[in-house]
Amino acid sequence: MWETLKNAWRIKDIRKKLLYTFCMLLLFRLVSVIPAPGVNATAVQNAIKGLDVLNLVNMMTGNAFSQMTIMAMGITHYINASIIMQLLAVAIPALERMTKDGGEEGRKKMNRITRYVTVALAILQSVGIIMTLNRTPAVDGATVLNPSYNNFWGYTVIAMVMAGGTSLAVWIGDRITAKGIGNGISLLIFVGIVSNLATGIISTVSGVFSGTPNALRNLIVILLTTVVIIAVVTFVDMAERRIQVQYAKRVVGRKMYGGQSTHIPMKLLAVGVLPLIFAYSFLAFPGTILAMIPAAKGASDWWQANMNQTSWLYAVICALLIIGFSYFYSAISFNPDDISKNIQQQGGHIPGVRPGTATTMYLKRTSKRLTLFAAIFLAILATVPTLFWGANISIPFGASSILIAVQVALETMRQLEGQMVMRHYKGFL
């Protein structure tokens, strides 16, 4: 990797793109420390300790949420809006036609709608979160919201500022994608996760020097666990099942076409990190709703005591949800019927498998096996923090964060190497 970066730096065009990407990421992190008006960050940090869904948001934003900056909502709403639009495109024929048959103009319309949904979600959730946190008991007399902002206009200002921060984050991500290296939205999440991980490691190192009990043991375990998880996730993420396809020879005029053999790459971890995010959000939603209802304090206390991320009941239910969501996402993202039709129309076939229905069933069976492995792998990965919490070791990262970071890093390196190949610098690779 370092050799690739060093050789890419020698190419003027790529060097400009790398510098542009770095400057935009630096701008994003600098903007992420600008505080939102009327919000007490210390009170927010005390209020979100028992709300897992808000801790998930804080992890994705690189602690911008706990500091209540203008980037507190981060880029997560754009991801949620994209997922919502993908699901709606499957259910609504008009959106499906816009995506598949609309061409470049249809994709632009879908992106525009996604951005409108992103801003709407940012406004609604920022107001809802601030109102919810403002109802939590004050610590040392400090409330989440400044009394002068506890009115309609105060909530409006906070909502517009945070929605503006989300829009700015989306714009920065788009600029990186267009003029830099890699996918801009993914890189913004990557920077937030790395920042959060670095903060946790620095805090543990500080505990070692200050003489905190078991701090050195925790640091060694954290470093070893991080290295092992990164290695395993990298190995699994790059693994793929290659299905061989043989194309028949065709005579067109005086020339003969076809006859070559190729393959269909099916990634072992094609579902990505979405099942983890779905499962975490699904389990965090009831606790957040119960915390909003004063009359449900008993139920909220039971949920926080028995369904937190350190309990085995939470780990088991989370693993089952991850397996279920893995099959659900695989079903809506992989269509073996279309692949089988395309192979047949181009005069190809899978050796040993008859074209048509038999090919479709073969692809379905292969996809289900890969999904089963991916689901079990993600479920085991999600329970790693619970294993260490049971041994009284605090891990400053989640399974989803490491998985996202590794996937983004690998994809960015692939794009960088691809641009070098396009410039005929194959020897450097």
Handedness of CA 235, 237, 243, 245 (dihedral sign): negative
- Residues with Cβ within 8 Å of 197's Cβ and at least 6 positions away in sequence, in order, are 226, 396, 397, 401, 405
Reference 130, options 109, 114, 151, 110; nearest CA is 151
Return the SS3 of 282: helix
Buried b (16+ CB within 10 A) or exposed e, 294-313: eeeeeebeebbeebbbebee
Give the pLDDT confidence score for residue 153 in this predicted structure: 85
Instruction: Let me know if 88 is exposed, middle or buried by CB neighbors in 10 A (0-12, 13-18, 19+).
Output: middle
Which amino acid is it at 213?
P
| Cα–Cα distance measured from residue 344 to residue 246, given in angstroms and rounded to the nearest whole number | 11
Return the SS3 of 260: coil
Give the pLDDT confidence score for residue 162 in this predicted structure: 87
21-43, pLDDT tens digit by residue? 999 999 998 888 888 888 887 77
- Residues with Cβ within 8 Å of 16's Cβ and at least 6 positions away in sequence, in order, are none
Instruction: Let me know if 213 is exposed, middle or buried by CB neighbors in 10 A (0-12, 13-18, 19+).
Output: exposed
Q: What is the pTM of this model?
A: 0.76
| Cα–Cα distance measured from residue 111 to residue 348, given in angstroms and rounded to the nearest whole number | 35
Give the pLDDT confidence score for residue 35 in this predicted structure: 85
| Cα–Cα distance measured from residue 221 to residue 393, given in angstroms and rounded to the nearest whole number | 8
Specify the residue for token string 């061409």: 103
3-state secondary structure 351-385: CCCCCCHHHHHHHHHHHHHHHHHHHHHHHHHHCHH
Low pLDDT (below 50) residues in the chain = 425-429
Give the pLDDT confidence score for residue 219 in this predicted structure: 77
- Residues with Cβ within 8 Å of 297's Cβ and at least 6 positions away in sequence, in order, are none
| Cα–Cα distance measured from residue 334 to residue 270, given in angstroms and rounded to the nearest whole number | 9
Residues of the chain with CATH 1.10.3370.10: 1-198, 214-397
Answer whether CATH 1.10.10.10 is correct for domain 214-397: no
Give the pLDDT confidence score for residue 425 in this predicted structure: 46
The C-alpha angle with vertex 186 and arms to 11 and 408, in degrees rounded to 5, equals 65
Q: What is the DSSP string of 17-76?
A: HHHHHHHHHHHHHHHTTSBPTTB-HHHHHHHGGG-HHHHHHHHHTTTTTTTTBTTTTTTH
- Domain range 1-198, CATH class: mainly alpha
| Cα–Cα distance measured from residue 244 to residue 266, given in angstroms and rounded to the nearest whole number | 11
